[in-house]
Structure formats: structure tokens, C-alpha cells
Structure 1
Amino acid sequence: MTERDVDNLDIFFDAARRQVPDPSPDFMQRVLDDALAEQRRLAGRKAPRRAGPGRLRQFVAAIGGWPAVAGLATASVAGLWIGVNPPSAVSMTAEAYLNSGADAYLVDLAPDFQFDVAEG
């Protein structure tokens, strides 16, 4: 295409943009009739009754809304992280408070308990 062809096409596109077709009066009357019929049909119906808020909504409202849920989620994730991978300061503080050493896991708290399954 040459520059002249593109200019000619722009003239046609501009003319098409300026031309706004109006819908026919017959079409507008049919749309209006359908809308009025639908309004009359729905006018006799009662609004559906809601059963009330669900359990999740009640729980969220009871604890203080979504900001409280976000705080609980953050605290849960932080607690899980610290429990799985505790920083050395937390481990040392726990050992000092509980007076336990590194060999605490070797103590048998239930010496009579058997872990094997008896056959029978």
C-alpha cells in the first residue's frame, strides 16, 4: 500500500466513526414492551428470604472482623515458623528456663510403654 491509499482509507474510517446509526422505533418499542412485561411478572413475587449470616460470617464477626482474622493468621504462621526453626536466642532461653541440656531428648518418660505390636 502506498501513502495515498492509507490516506484514502483514513477518510472512509473517519466517515464511518462519525455516522452513528439510531435503532429503529419498532425495535425500541419491542424492547420496552419486553421490559414492562418482565416488570409486571416480577411485581407479584415476594423477595427471597435469607436464612441469616452463615457460620463463617458469624465466626469472623465474633472475633472482630477480617483484621482480626489477618492477625490470627499472621500469628499462626509466625508461631509455626518459630516452632519449626527456632532462633538460637529462643533455644538458649528455653534451655535456661527449663534447666535442660542438649541431652533432654534421651530421657525415657514412659519406661514401661512398648512400641511394638503384640501378635495374637
Structure 2
Amino acid sequence: MAETDRTDERLEAFFEAARREPPVPTEALLARIHADARQVQDVARPVAAQVPRVPLRARLAQALGGWQGLGGLVTATAAGLWIGYAGIADPASYGGDILGLEPIASVELMPGTEDFAALVVGE
């Protein structure tokens, strides 16, 4: 069975003696510790290589694909702004001129949605 008595009178005398006289390191021990510390400090440590800091603008340009990627993005942005500002009245008419087709008056992208809209609105 396990001993449940947590007070051990036999060891208490040793603990009391240790509390009265705390251990003090000898001069020889302290000298050895200091000599060991000096020896460790004298060892040359390798210096970490200095990594050059890359500016945020350069890191962002590289993340987008360098100057080629940035050129493509600028071109697409300029074309999008021009198309948005100029407005294309009838995009089908441009293709009709090239291919010799007649322009389409309107395009039904989602046929049958009028019935759904009437149900939602309640008309």
C-alpha cells in the first residue's frame, strides 16, 4: 500500500540543517565557472549575413511579375478606363462590320426572367 503520511520526521532533521546553513560555493568552484565562461566567450561566433532590404515598391513589382506584368496591368487598366469612359453603344455592331453580319438589336441573356420578376414583385 502507498504511504499516505506526508510528514516524515526522519528527513525533517536534515531539511532543518540545510535551512540553517545554506550551501556556499567555494572559491575554487567560482574560479572554474569564471574560466569556463571566459573560454566560451572567446570563441568567435559567426556573424549573420546582412540581407539587403528590398523596398516595398520593388517587392510589390516582383510579386506582380516584374516590369512585364506591370506593363500588362497598366495596359489593361488604361483600356478599361477608356472603354468605360467612351462607352460602347452597341458592341455587336463592331463584330458585325468585320464579319459581315448584321448587328443584333438586343440580346436576351436570361430568357424567362420576366415571369420570375413578376412573381417576386407581385404583379
Verify same fold: TM over 0.5: no
TM-score, normalised to structure 1, is 0.31
